[in-house]
Amino acid sequence: MRKKKTDQKNNYLAAIDIGTNSFHLVIVEILPDGNVKILDRAKENVRLGSGGKDMKTITPDATARGITALKHFVEIARSYKAPIRAVATSAVREALNQNEFVKKVHARTGITVEVVSGFEEARLIYLGVLQALPVFEKKVLCLDIGGGSVEYLVGSKGEALYANSLKIGCIRLTERFFSKSSLKDKDIKACREHIVGFISPVAREIKKYRYEFAIGSSGTIQNIANIIRAMRGEIVSLQVNNFSFTKNELNKVVKILLRARTDAQRSQIPGLDPKRVDIIVAGALVLQESFSLLRIRKLTVSEFALREGIIYDYLKSRLYEVDHHHHLSNIRYKSVTQLAKTFNYDTHHANQAVKLSLSIFDQTKNLHKLGEREREFLEYAALLHEIGFFISHAQHHRHTYYLIRNSELAGFTDTEKEIIANIARYHRKSHPKPKHDGYSRLTENERLTVKKLAGILRLADGLDRSHISKVSSVKCRVQPRSFILRIKASSKIDLEEWAVNMKKGLFEEVFRKPVVLKRY
């Protein structure tokens, strides 16, 4: 069962969306009943994805703009004494210099940037939408047009049934097709064909789900909503939540936009945000083709998206202590177990590895000095450590790493997946080395965490070498010059003792204590 924390430091939270076009900040107060009150918002048009040759790099100028914006956000967050959770999407996710950018941001602002996959981005957007519109019980299609990517998701009752992220964001398409000073018919045609090529496979999948309600988020969609408001003769307003428009109305907007061949001409269109005159055409074309291919008749606008989803996810996954034996409502645990089942894992051995790993972890807190987050990493790595057998017995630890690292695990950032994948990888064979791919991408502290947890996992894995759960429990004693591991078993465990002695080297290396096995 869940127990709500009452720690005062959790009364406020600042969520930052590091997008390709804009950076957004929202600060909330977490109320005693678990709901939130929005205290402040801020937005900066950074254009992080501009000028990077199809977003392969974040340019020095874009980095400077981003850091300036984030410094401003940090000042606002500090005024509320609010801890910050910052999530980066397409521009950072795809950049070859991602690590360099993330490190610079941390050095200059103190912000730890979490880079999320396209699937995770879509899931967080859906969680945000659920806070803005009463659609929890409905099967909904969510569409979010960003600067670098477009997210599509079908969800119901808080669960993502289908999600995909396509590299057809409005900045990306603008730089590829509309970099000239004036729109050309051949470029419009080429852009449409490009969009249709990307969306068509997704549309085929989404049609299977028979969604009831279509929802759009993002600045592009909100801005199109305001253009439609102006067309209707209504007052243009920043408040567009729950505003709906039809396919016919969208088609009229696209015609108006395409008749305005230059930025100057488009700037005269009522309701159009001056900051979007150069990228609105690409975004409108994506929306129009999405309406057509996904058979959308009417779209309802959500003002809430990724940043609000970050907050909701934090409330559900971080503010509550979860009984480690009851994970049914934990989206992270559910996604890990589903991955394990997909690759036909050995359930009994995996559960025994989890049991023994966590027992050793819990008894050695003063030795490893890690917390609940790292405990969770160890649990998931233990569950998944042998899924590589699905591919081949030979080098299965490397296959395990690849499967974890490249799977869509709901609720995890890229860094968290990297850590878990590395822990699982090093349950056997060579010790972690800086030259190893994946491990080399982690920070020094993250590498140390991997070594500590992989060292524990090796002991636990060795203690079930026969895969028949002979060891019922362990007792750990940390002494000044040794680590005593006492084993209680139902029968002879010669094989298990041999395996532990073969695998204990990493534990001894990282904790600088020889492991001594004893029976009790």
Tokens linked to 141:
């299609």
Q: What is the domain extent for residue 264?
A: 119-305
- Residue 170's closest CA among 22, 284, 296? 284
pLDDT, one tens digit per residue, over 129-154 is: 999 999 999 999 999 999 999 999 99
pLDDT, one tens digit per residue, over 52-96 is: 667 889 999 999 999 999 999 999 999 999 999 999 999 999 999
Residue 318 is assigned to a structural domain of this protein: no
Distance between CA 401 and CA 427 in Å, rounded? 11
* Amino acid (one-letter) located at 396: H
Tokens linked to 128:
């945000």
Other C-beta atoms within 10 Å of 520: how many? 9
pLDDT score of 328: 36
Same domain, 212 and 339: no
Distance between CA 23 and CA 46 in Å, rounded? 7
- Where a domain ends, among 115, 134, 163? 115
**3-class secondary structure for 111-171?**
CCEEECCHHHHHHHHHHHHHHHCCCCCCCEEEEEECCCCEEEEEEECCEEEEEEEECCCHH
- Where a domain ends, among 80, 115, 150? 115
Distance between CA 67 and CA 71 in Å, rounded? 6
Integer CA distances (angstroms), 194 to 143, 200, 254, 378, 508, in order? 18, 10, 17, 43, 56
Backbone angles phi, psi at 234, to 5 degrees: -90, 165
Place of tokens 């909100």: 222
Residue 469 is assigned to a structural domain of this protein: yes
Give residues with Cβ within 8 angstroms of 6, minimum separation 6.
none
Cβ atoms of 410 and 332 within 8 Å: the answer is: yes
- Count how many domains the chain has: 3
Domain at 231, CATH number = 3.30.420.150
Same domain, 341 and 480: yes
Same domain, 362 and 397: yes
pLDDT at 321 over 50: no
- For 421, the enclosing helix (H) or strand (E) is helix 414-425
Distance between CA 136 and CA 152 in Å, rounded? 17
- Where a domain ends, among 305, 334, 354? 305
Tokens linked to 139:
């099967």
Cβ atoms of 47 and 72 within 8 Å: the answer is: no
The long-range contacts involving 268-277, CB below 8 angstroms and separated by at least 24 positions, are 269/227, 270/227, 270/230, 270/231, 270/236, 271/223, 271/226, 271/227, 271/228, 271/229, 271/230, 271/231, 271/236, 272/223, 272/226, 272/227, 273/219, 273/223, 273/226, 275/45, 276/219, 276/220, 276/223
**Edge-first strand listing for the sheet containing 22-30:** 36-45, 22-30, 12-18, 84-88, 113-115
Residue 310 is assigned to a structural domain of this protein: no
Give the whole-number percent of the chain exceeding pLDDT 70.
Answer: 95
Same domain, 155 and 100: no
pLDDT at 36 over 90: no
Same domain, 271 and 393: no
User: How would residue 160 be classed by pLDDT, with cut points 50, 70 and 90?
Assistant: very high
> Is this prediction's pTM over 0.85?
no
User: How would residue 316 be classed by pLDDT, with cut points 50, 70 and 90?
Assistant: confident
Give the whole-number percent of the chain exceeding pLDDT 90.
Answer: 85
Paired strand residues for 23: 18, 44
